[in-house]
């Protein structure tokens, strides 16, 4: 799993770099990962430091339901958008590529950031939900931009590509609105707060 994780992270980093080098990521989007990382570091250092010197345990363990949810999210949010972008690029539709890249770019950077914070003892369990929450919130705006473009904009002339893009952006809009308002805030954040303060109380005792 360690080697597989390294390969996946390397692939994701390569994809992000290629998006930026090609000029497909809007310039106003580039500061967001940097500012978010700085904010997370400040919170982890001064507001919600780790309770123990060890990596705090995960919240969901080996939950099969959680694994299936993450796999479904990866399929809809990463794999299919990569296929869509590749198809649009091969068909020479750079307008469609540039419309789809921002959301995927943010999601991949989110995955890289989560991998970093989850595997280090310097980040408490209370900090972990903030990474997907911040990225998910920002990404909703890029999803809506793409949705408005695909349904009301002009540019994609291939009917098959247009249908694929519309179905995909609607699926992503539903998924990530639910993820933020139905899972991250009411479930993940609440569970992380409970675990953090339970660990804090145990250490004090």
SS3 53: coil
pLDDT in tens, 86-118: 999 999 989 899 999 999 999 999 999 999 888
Instruction: Please give the biggest Cα pair distance in the chain.
Output: 66
CA distance 99 to 146: 5
Residue 127 sits at φ, ψ, to 5 deg, of -80, -30
Q: Which two tokens stand for residue 32?
A: 């967001």
SS3 196: helix
pLDDT in tens, 158-175: 888 989 999 999 999 999
Q: Which two tokens stand for residue 163?
A: 């249908």
Helices in the chain by DSSP H: which ranges?
2-21, 31-42, 64-74, 80-90, 94-118, 130-152, 159-178, 190-204
Q: Which two tokens stand for residue 205?
A: 């005792």
pLDDT tens per residue, the chain (205 residues)? 577 888 989 999 999 999 999 999 999 999 999 999 999 999 999 988 887 777 776 777 778 899 999 999 999 999 999 999 999 999 998 989 999 999 999 999 999 999 988 888 778 888 999 999 999 999 999 999 999 999 987 666 688 898 999 999 999 999 999 999 999 999 999 999 888 888 777 776 6
């Amino acid at each position: 799993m360690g080697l597989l994780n390294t390969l996946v992270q390397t692939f994701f980093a390569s994809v992000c770099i290629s998006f930026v080098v090609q000029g497909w990521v809007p310039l106003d989007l580039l500061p967001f990962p940097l500012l978010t990382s700085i904010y997370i570091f400040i919170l982890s250092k001064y507001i919600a430091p780790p309770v123990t010197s060890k990596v705090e345990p995960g919240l969901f363990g080996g939950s099969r339901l959680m694994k299936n949810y993450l796999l479904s999210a990866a399929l809809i949010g990463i794999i299919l958008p990569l296929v869509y972008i590749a198809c649009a690029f091969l068909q020479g539709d750079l307008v469609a590529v540039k419309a789809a890249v921002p959301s995927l770019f943010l999601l991949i950077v989110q995955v890289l950031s989560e991998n970093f914070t989850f595997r280090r003892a310097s980040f408490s369990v209370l900090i972990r939900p903030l990474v997907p929450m911040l990225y998910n919130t920002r990404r909703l705006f890029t999803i809506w931009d793409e949705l408005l473009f695909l349904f009301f904009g002009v540019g994609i002339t291939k009917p098959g590509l247009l249908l694929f893009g519309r179905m995909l952006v609607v699926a992503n809009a539903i998924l990530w609105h639910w993820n933020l308002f139905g899972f991250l805030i009411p479930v993940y954040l609440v569970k992380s707060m409970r675990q953090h303060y339970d660990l804090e109380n145990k250490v004090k005792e």
